[in-house]
Amino acid sequence: MKKNPPSLKLVGSTKANPFAPPSTLGKAGATLWKTIQTEYAIADSGGRTILLQICCATDDLHDCTLAIERDGAVINTRNGLREHPLCRRQIALRSFIVRSVQRLGLSLETTKPIGRPPGANAGLTYEDFEDDR
């Protein structure tokens, strides 16, 4: 009995870029995702989940901003002029984004070390000055 050899075919790379933005994000969210991943390379699942929520909120904020720009910050209702209903949502989304960025620790910058910077006198000891007496 003759065995047929298994047919094999070459498969391309199936591993996706782990830092690529999810396809569910809009333009504003995807841009923010790429920017943050370029600078910080968030790889843990918790951080990526928070980042996804930040980027989704950025998309919502973009949509709110466009609607407010289209309609104006003050709209005319049957009871008179009123603030656009999306203004409060816009403020809430901005607050959520800022708080979440702080939770991820992305708002922290490295600070300069305290004290004098190392210079020409670095490495001198007390013994170096004893010979000058």
Domain residue limits, the chain:
27-104
89-129 pLDDT per residue, tens: 999 999 999 999 999 988 776 556 666 666 655 566 666 66
CB atoms under 10 Å from CB of 92, counted, come to 14
**In angstroms, rounded to a whole number, what is the distance separating the alpha carbons of residues 61 and 97?**
10
| pTM over cut 0.85 | no
11 pLDDT higher than 70: no
Regarding predicted confidence, which is higher, 41 or 63?
Answer: 63
C-alpha distances in Å from residue 29, one per residue of 25, 53, 60, 100, 103: 5, 9, 9, 14, 18
pLDDT at 15: 65
For residues 56 and 25, the answer to whether their CB atoms sit within 8 Å is: yes
